[in-house]
């Protein structure tokens, strides 16, 4: 969420940023919120004046009573009562106006970083760098679920009967591989100095609206009926929520955490859920990383975070590339975002396996995550990135480590987590 003071003083810059994100329908929000903010501040000033006057009159009443001038004191008391009623009305109006200002401010997109390329959607994202040589074997690479089924590693038909499309049973060595990748990713991040955490898998609505835009919330989150709780779409949500309404001494930053969680997503508007695939699903598991840091350090941490994911995938012999997300592909709270994509030998192209985001102070403003330093208090910066998210990551793993006979090679880094196995076969 943008600082209201910045918006008040720089409305043209805010409007230009909205245009860069191709959200022209939101341009009117800037003038609307400026008008509401001015009215809100005027009402607040009027209420403050009344409070000051009431305090002054209260002293007068005490003096008059002390002088035995009871009738004069009672007359002034009646005036105080009238002012109290007016003050209550002003306070209610002030609260209503403040809520309206906040609601609109939460719909205005964050100011994007100057380095972000301008583009309408993900088709205009910009490739930055490739890591590892893309390889296509001489033999045909089957569809990922066919690979799993030949190894008795997945049961989609039973899952469809139990829960519908978008769910799966992982079985045997494929299920073990799934858990091995998560465990390896956990230790990989611990070795890089991150603190391991298993967070709550449900969060309250004030945390949801603190970490994401209304549009994201509507398309992703499952609501628990009858309770103020939502199933998390990613552990980043509850991990950032851990710092809600806190004042963090500068010397305790950065906070670097890596978390495991299941994730639940409606995938609303995702063009349907594949019946045979596990690329886009309602339930999956994930290892995540988040950072809460000083503003001047967020750029440095952004580069460290995406590099962690690249290094993890390369340690499992999977070629990857990085893409800078263009302005139109950025969620409203993001200052900058970079996708990590893995190579698919079957499709002969890259596909997304992780996304690294710098949210500046947007989440910190909404959740009141502050830092206390020598110069006073200020809002922290928050960042997040996917370490690894099976089973989507398993697609890249299986395709890039597939042998001609249908078996799967286990890279050396993962073997300790697979009981020493070097190959998964029938």
Tally of CB atoms within 10 A around 39 = 15
Partners of 129 in beta bridges: 322
The residue whose two tokens read 């609206």 is 209
Phi and psi, residue 373, nearest 5°: -130, -175
Of 355, 357, 370, 399, the active-site residue reads 355
Question: 194 and 178 in contact (C-beta within 8 Å)?
Answer: no
**How far, in Å, CA of 237 to CA of 121, rounded?**
24
Question: 47 and 91 in contact (C-beta within 8 Å)?
Answer: yes
Cis ω before 391 (30° cut-off from 0): yes
**Phi-psi category of 284—alpha, beta or left, where left has phi over 0 and alpha has psi -120 to 50?**
beta
Of 352, 407, 409, 415, the active-site residue reads 352
Number of H helices, E strands in the chain: 13, 18
**How far, in Å, CA of 244 to CA of 365, rounded?**
10
Q: Which two tokens stand for residue 314?
A: 């390369």
70 CB contacts (<8 Å, ≥6 apart)?
Answer: 64
Evaluated on CA atoms 394, 240, 111, 24, the torsion sign reads positive
Catalytic residue flag (residue 355): yes
Catalytic residue flag (residue 341): no
3-state SS, residue 140 = coil
**How far, in Å, CA of 10 to CA of 8, rounded?**
6
Catalytic residue flag (residue 415): no
Of 8, 51, 160, 280, the active-site residue reads 280
Q: Are strands 126-131 and 320-324 parallel, antiparallel or unpaired?
A: antiparallel
Q: Are strands 195-197 and 255-264 parallel, antiparallel or unpaired?
A: parallel
Of 40, 213, 259, 265, the active-site residue reads 265
Catalytic residue flag (residue 91): no
In the chain, the largest separation of any two C-alpha atoms, in whole Å, equals: 106
Of 213, 357, 392, 399, the active-site residue reads 392
Catalytic residue flag (residue 352): yes
Phi and psi, residue 149, nearest 5°: -65, -35
Partners of 381 in beta bridges: 293
Distance of CA 54 to the CA centre of its chain: 46
For residue 98, which of 38, 53, 172 has the smallest C-alpha distance?
A: 38
> Crossing angle, helix 11-20 and helix 27-66, to 10 degrees?
140
What is the chain's Cα-based Rg? 27
Could you list the active site residues?
Answer: 265, 280, 352, 355, 392
């Amino acid at each position: 969420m943008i600082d209201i003071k910045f918006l008040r003083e720089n409305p043209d810059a805010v409007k230009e940023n909205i245009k860069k994100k191709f959200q022209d329908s939101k341009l009117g929000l800037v003038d609307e919120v400026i008008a509401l903010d001015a009215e809100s501040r005027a009402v607040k000033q009027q209420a403050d004046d009344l409070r000051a006057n009431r305090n002054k009159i209260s002293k007068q009443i005490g003096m008059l009573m002390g002088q035995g001038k009871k009738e004069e004191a009672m007359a002034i008391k009646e005036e105080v009562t009238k002012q109290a009623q007016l003050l209550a009305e002003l306070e209610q109006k002030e609260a209503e106006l403040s809520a309206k200002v906040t609601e609109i401010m939460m719909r205005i997109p964050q100011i994007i970083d100057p380095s972000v390329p301008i583009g309408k959607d993900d088709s205009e994202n910009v490739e930055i760098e490739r890591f590892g040589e893309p390889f296509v074997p001489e033999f045909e690479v089957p569809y990922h679920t066919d690979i799993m089924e030949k190894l008795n590693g997945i049961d989609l038909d039973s899952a469809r009967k139990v829960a519908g499309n978008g769910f799966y049973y992982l079985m045997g060595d494929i299920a073990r591989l799934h858990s091995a990748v998560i465990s390896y990713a956990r230790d990989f991040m611990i070795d890089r100095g991150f603190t391991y955490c298993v967070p709550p898998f449900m969060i309250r609505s004030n945390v949801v609206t603190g970490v994401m835009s209304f549009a994201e919330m509507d398309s992703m989150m499952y609501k628990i009926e009858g309770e103020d709780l939502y199933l998390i779409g990613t552990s980043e949500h509850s991990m950032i929520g851990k710092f809600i309404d806190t004042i963090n001494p500068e010397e305790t930053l950065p906070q670097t955490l890596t978390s495991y969680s299941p994730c639940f997503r409606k995938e609303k508007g995702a063009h349907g859920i594949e019946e045979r695939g596990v690329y886009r699903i309602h339930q999956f598991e994930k290892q995540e990383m988040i950072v809460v840091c000083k503003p001047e350090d967020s750029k440095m941490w952004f580069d460290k975070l995406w590099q962690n994911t690249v290094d993890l995938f390369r340690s499992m012999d999977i070629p990857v590339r990085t893409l800078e997300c263009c302005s139109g592909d950025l969620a409203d709270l993001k200052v900058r975002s970079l996708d990590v994509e893995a190579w698919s030998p079957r499709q002969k192209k890259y596909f997304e396996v992780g996304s690294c985001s710098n949210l500046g102070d947007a989440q910190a403003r909404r959740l009141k995550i502050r830092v206390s330093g020598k110069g006073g208090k200020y809002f922290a910066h928050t960042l997040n990135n996917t370490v690894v998210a099976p089973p989507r990551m398993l697609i890249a793993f299986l395709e890039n480590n597939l042998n001609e006979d249908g078996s799967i090679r286990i890279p050396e880094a993962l073997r300790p987590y697979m009981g020493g196995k070097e190959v998964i076969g029938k």
